[in-house]
Structure 1
């Protein structure tokens, strides 16, 4: 039975003996709890104070000291171990010391198993108060464990950087002067490298200057959105890195302009042609949809249409009502299809073709940005497997964490929690992704 209890409590210290005949149920901190009792004793090899070897019984037993250790929950009830630790006294120096155990850290009354449970729950989207309730400790204890664990995960400037990085930002806390904080991760294994308080160029300069030039030269690519300060930082501090424009933001910008012009055209005919207005409003998803996914063979009835048609026919009818809407539709989907097929010459020729067409002001502005960042967009086609998708997912998890915790006031606590959520466990990457080689 003693062996069974030791396995249950994960007691790997053979010097601890559990009293199998004594288990008490007591109300502690307002809850029914289980109390177990045990002793810790052994023969020390030497005095911990003066270091004299205990070969002639120089160290003798000198009473016990009782400690109440917090254990993991058992059958849903809080569990504690009242441990009687052996006290020793050295005859040579006259000083006393207490027996040590690997079951808990020095000067700590929480078992290592409970500490591991706190760190494990800290990787999930849970508030610190909920973690404290689950592990039957105080919120301050949870915060201390998170801080200690995060301190071991912080990257040092002397360490190496991943070859492929992703840059992005997220809404920061109120204690930070800047509205957005900077975060970057490994583009291959999706593990967060670090978090910086501010995303401005000056703050990023002060951060990345700590790394040696040899370390920064190892970075081969950085994936970003179209945020100008990131481009300046990469050119200055990562001389060998190719800048990759995130394809999601490129396609999102195109689709947004297509949707905005459709709404603009709808508003001009709202009172003139109500039936056409309703059709544009009802079938807006077909206009945004990939033309290759539209059906042109199967005919049946659709609401608002008085004749048999199909999805391709609906789109053709709506586009025929306005030449500028049709031109916008063609340019947007041609650029999108060029990216999906990884056809850079077609993407480049479409940008040139767009100059000859009458397009909305919003789409012309987006295409001017594409022309300005054409070199970086070309890198997007050269590195088809690298996107900002992983870091966007991490940012979403950070937003959910803030909402679950009802916000954070302290930036350092928030940063520690982010590092623990994203760096405690090494993510399992796809072997196919690891084997992929990217052309320069």
Structure 2
């Protein structure tokens, strides 16, 4: 589209002015429709160069529209009652802090660093003690640094450790025991070795999804057998592996059934096996109150992990960012 704007000259002062139109802003060449199109394509996590080719303008013009007059909001209008904390890798291989509303899943803030001092300064300088005291729940992963300042910032908040990270910790401990067991098996062509090596995913399957009746063809072992038979072949190698498997699934089942009493009993009655599961149980026992809250709380870090996934996709498609302010501007476009 070609637009011609007429100019006028005052006969008294000889100053000039141009005609105004809603199609183009004052002192601009490109139309407002192009700007809207640039913003719409930026929400699809496209690079500035790709957007420029699609729209037909220069990459520098795209960047000017995206980053001009951008500034991070000082604070939210009100502090949510339920918060969710996490971190992600941002620019220059640094990790940044991210917080969202655990109830509405709206972005609260992104800080350039995940250091405790910067996080504390942000909340203390922007929100009053009364506002912070109104926070009821803070959901985190097993990051020990977050636990050290949450009760200082939010004195009345209950700390909830994300359920996924608890189960992940138990499964990783079982995998370490399984790997140690595999290395101790001398016959690499034996049925127990193939059961533990090739079909390792079967050992992470929930107990209620394991078929103990219908025979299936099992690759690796190359035999027809029920899934429970395959698991039994692998676990019968030694008792430590079997106990680690049982503990991992008991923890998973207690969280799934929302039974904090059962989970507490599992951790307190655990007997040391001198393997990776000891460290996991010890970690969970240290955070027993927060883990018990995760069994009954409806909130989790699922929403913030989804937001982090969008951020990672944006960073990958744009081949990374050098400027944190530019990165933050693009994040605001994809999470809204």
TM-score computed with the length of structure 1 as normaliser: 0.71
* Structure that is richer in strand per residue: 1
Corresponding residue pairs, total: 335
2:91 corresponding residue in structure 1: 173
Q: Out of 382, 390, 400, which is 2:313 matched to?
A: 400
Matched, 1:421 2:316: no
Between the aligned partners of 2:76 and 2:218, the Cα distance in structure 1 is 64
CA distance, structure 1, for counterparts of residue 288 and residue 57 of structure 2: 55
The answer to whether the 8 Å contact 1:158/1:212 transfers is no
How far off is 1:345 after superposition?
1.0
SS at match of 1:101: coil
Deviation at 1:351, TM superposition (A): 0.7
Choose which of 30, 55, 76 in structure 2 pairs with 1:135.
Answer: 55
Instruction: In structure 1, list runs of 5 or more residues that go unmatched.
Output: 1-79, 424-440
Q: Does 1:106 align with 2:19?
A: no
Q: d(CA) in 1 for partners of 2:199 and 2:43? A: 42
- 1:205 match: secondary structure: helix
- RMSD, aligned CA: 2.3
Deviations 1:32-81 (A, max 9, x none): xxxxxxxxxxxxxxxxxxxxxxxxxxxxxxxxxxxxxxxxxxxxxxxx32
Alpha-carbon distance, 1:215 to partner? 3.0
Deviation, 1:168, is 1.0
1:379 match:
293
Q: Which fold has the larger relative contact order, with Cα–Cα distance below 8 Å and residues 6 or more apart in sequence? A: 2
Comparing 208-217 with 338-347, greater Cα deviation is found at 208-217
The TM-score, its normalising length taken from structure 2, stands at 0.91
Aligned to 1:349, the other structure's residue is in SS state helix
Structure possessing the higher radius of gyration over alpha carbons? 1
Give 1:163's aligned residue: 81
How many angstroms apart in 1 are the aligned matches of 2:97 and 2:222? 54
Give the conservation status (yes or no) of the 8 Å contact 1:167–1:224: yes
Counterparts of residues 32-431 of structure 1 (less than 5 Å):
80-81=1-2, 83-91=3-11, 93-148=13-68, 150-151=70-71, 154-157=72-75, 159-174=77-92, 179-213=94-128, 214-271=130-187, 274-299=190-215, 302=218, 309-354=225-270, 357-384=271-298, 386-423=299-336
The offset of 1:283, in angstroms, is 2.5
Give 1:317 deviation, angstroms. 3.0
More helix by percentage? 2
Q: Which moved more, 1:88-97 or 1:366-375?
A: 88-97
After superposition, the C-alpha distances for 1:221-240 in whole angstroms (9 at most, x for unaligned) are: 12111112212232122223
Contact 1:299–1:308 at 8 Å: present in 2 too? yes
Preserved CA contact (<8 Å) 2:99 2:108: yes
**Distance in 1 (alpha carbons) for counterparts of 2:200 and 2:59:** 50
CA distance in 1 between counterparts of 2:187 and 2:42 reads 56
Tell me by how many angstroms 1:110 deviates: 1.8
Whole-Å separation in 1 of the counterparts to 2:58 and 2:216: 64
Distance 1:268 1:280 in 2: 12
Quote the offset at 1:306 in angstroms. 9.4
Partner Cα separation in structure 2 for residue 117 and residue 215 of structure 1? 39
Matches of 2:37 and 2:69, distance apart in 1: 12
Do the aligned residues in 2 keep the contact of 1:194 with 1:419 (CA within 8 Å)?
no
